[in-house]
């Protein structure tokens, strides 16, 4: 059974991805940091449904902690062949009033997190000559958005990392892609984006669901997507 690690697996989108991957037959390692109990609840739900799951906890911004946790997983169970870099945070503010801490936290979780999680797992994955790396970006990384210069920069950085890494590992049976969701239903998004804004911005006149994004991630990590690499695919209801 192939193993998948999903960072930020305790949130609405991360949990949907974990459930979808487990339903596809993968052993899912649900990562959490700020809310490890919620990661545990996701793993419990997967096991109750007949799937296979465990949890891991570390701060993706801490390279040493990430390496210790991930290398331990590899030592105990062999190479992890699926990585979903889903961890991310919002610290929105106009750039003129943005603090250095707001900039650093958003960029570090997305970009440093990508490096800290992917690098320790990459060589063992490549040795198997099969692997899938998917990073969860955002439509903001494609279009920009007022008050989210830090978030847009972080997600656009993921796009460049995705395309470059895809070239580096292309001969090893490893694909690297990014998924850029639009307005997806969650407690935070529902509170921040009124229905009137959704109706104006989204031609489909509705929010996407976490499950719709998770379905794309699950396809990208499947054997059927073996020739699809270096792409940024947006799930946005025709917004852009």
Helix (H, G, I), strand (E, B) or coil at 238: coil
Which candidate in 58, 103, 114, 151 is catalytic?
Answer: 151
d(CA 148, CA 165): 26
Distances (CA, A) of 112 to 61, 136, 148, 195: 6, 14, 18, 34
227 is an active site residue: no
Q: Which residue has the tokens 């440093």?
A: 112
Give the SS3 label for residue 36.
Answer: helix
Q: How far is CA 124 from CA 56, 71, 82, 84, 163, in A?
A: 19, 10, 11, 16, 21
Q: Which residue has the tokens 């920009």?
A: 144
SS3 for 88-141 is: CCCCCCCHHHCCHHHHHHHHHHHHHHHHHHHHHHHHHHHHHCCEEEEEECCCHH
* Pairing mode of beta strands 82-85, 131-136: parallel
Catalytic residues: 151
């Amino acid at each position: 059974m192939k193993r998948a690690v999903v960072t930020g697996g305790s949130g609405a989108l991360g949990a949907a991805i974990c459930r979808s991957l487990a339903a596809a037959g993968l052993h899912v390692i649900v990562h959490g940091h700020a809310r490890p109990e919620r990661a545990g609840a996701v793993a419990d739900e997967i096991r109750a449904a007949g799937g296979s799951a465990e949890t891991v906890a570390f701060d993706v911004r801490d390279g040493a902690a990430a390496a210790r946790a991930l290398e331990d997983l590899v030592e105990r169970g062999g190479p992890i062949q699926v990585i979903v870099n889903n961890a991310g945070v919002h610290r929105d503010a106009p750039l003129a009033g943005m603090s250095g801490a707001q900039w650093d936290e958003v960029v570090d979780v997305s970009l440093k997190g990508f490096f800290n999680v992917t690098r320790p797992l990459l060589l063992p994955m490549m040795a198997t000559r099969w692997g899938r790396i998917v990073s969860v970006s955002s439509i903001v990384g494609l279009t920009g958005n007022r008050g989210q210069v830090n978030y847009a920069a972080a997600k656009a950085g993921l796009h460049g990392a995705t395309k470059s890494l895809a070239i580096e590992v292309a001969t090893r049976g490893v694909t690297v892609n990014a998924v850029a969701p639009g307005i997806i239903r969650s407690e935070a998004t529902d509170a921040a984006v009124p229905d009137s804004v959704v109706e104006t911005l989204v031609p489909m006149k509705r929010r996407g669901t976490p499950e719709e994004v998770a379905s794309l991630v699950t396809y990208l990590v499947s054997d059927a997507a073996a020739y699809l690499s270096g792409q940024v695919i947006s799930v946005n209801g025709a917004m852009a």
